[in-house]
Structure 1
Amino acid sequence: MKMTKMKNEKGFTLIEMMVVLLIISILLLVMVPAMAKNQEVAGSKGCEATIELLNAQVMAFEADRGERPSSLEELKTEGYVDRITCPDGDTELTLTSSGVVKVED
């Protein structure tokens, strides 16, 4: 029986793996706070877009029916919009007497 040597064994050493994991960890530490900030900005822009959509649908309702809706709930029940809240779920919206949608104070 002859013992043959294995030639050209390829693989990563433990140190190489640790260096790669260190680099990935540093990149994650840099990226996570930036992504959290982007979520906050996206949430505020989502609420602004919802208000603009609701204002447009109030005008569409008025053009179709010849009168303003009495509430945002009426827009929803009549099928003009799917939802009448901001994407964050916490911001309350109201319809003013002049027919403009705004954030409730």
Structure 2
Amino acid sequence: MSKLKLKNHGAFTLIEMVIVLFIISLLLLIIIPNINTQKHSAQSKTDAAFQSTLQTQVDMYDNDDAVSWDQLEKDNYLSASQTKKAKSEGYTIHDGTVVGPKK
């Protein structure tokens, strides 16, 4: 009779798997709050840049009358998408100054 050779397969033990899962969960606990903070920071910078763009266009309009988003779009100072965003997000113009929405 021939002897059957048992192959020795290397495998992870349960303890090794638990340690790896613990390390992965620990990294996720550190990374997820940081991603959320970065998202809010990027959004606030985007809003400030958009408000600055709107203010620049209002300043360039050079009209003594009260200006509106529709006038700025009609005279090609703003694009249709900029006008739509300014209206939908609640930006207003008071005495030549762009006022951002209350968030």
TM-score w.r.t. length of structure 1: 0.67
1:13-54 residue CA offsets vs partner (Å, 9 max, x unmatched): 222111111001011111222222222222221211110111
Q: Give aligned pairs, total.
A: 96
* TM-fit CA distance, 1:78: 5.3
Q: Structure 2 CA distance, aligned partners of 1:33 and 1:21? A: 19
Distance change in 2, residues 1:75/1:13 (3 Å) = farther
Report the 3-state secondary structure (helix = DSSP H, G, I; strand = E; otherwise coil) of the residue aligned with 1:101: strand
TM-score computed with the length of structure 2 as normaliser:
0.68
Unaligned runs of 5+ residues in structure 2 are none
SS, match of residue 58 in structure 1: helix
Q: Which amino acid aligns with 2:63?
A: E
Could you tell me how far apart the structure 2 residues matched to 1:67 and 1:15 are? 74
State the Cα distance separating 1:77 from its structure 2 match. Answer: 5.4
Moved over 6 A (4+): none
Q: Partners in 1 of 2:39 and 2:101 — Cα distance?
A: 23
Relative to its length, the structure with more helix (as a share) is 2
Matched, 1:70 2:37: no
Identity of aligned residues (%): 29
Deviation for aligned residue 1:57:
2.4
Cα distance change, pair 73–14 in 1 and its aligned pair in 2 (3 A):
farther
Q: Aligned equivalents of 2:13 and 2:73: distance in 1?
A: 62
Output aligned runs, 1:77-92, within 5 Å.
80-81=78-79, 82-84=81-83, 85=85, 92=90
Taking a change above 3 Å as real, the CA distance of residues 15 and 77 of structure 1, as seen in their structure-2 partners, is farther
Residue of structure 1 equivalent to 2:100: 103
RMSD over aligned Cα atoms = 2.8
Counterpart for residue 43 of structure 1: 43
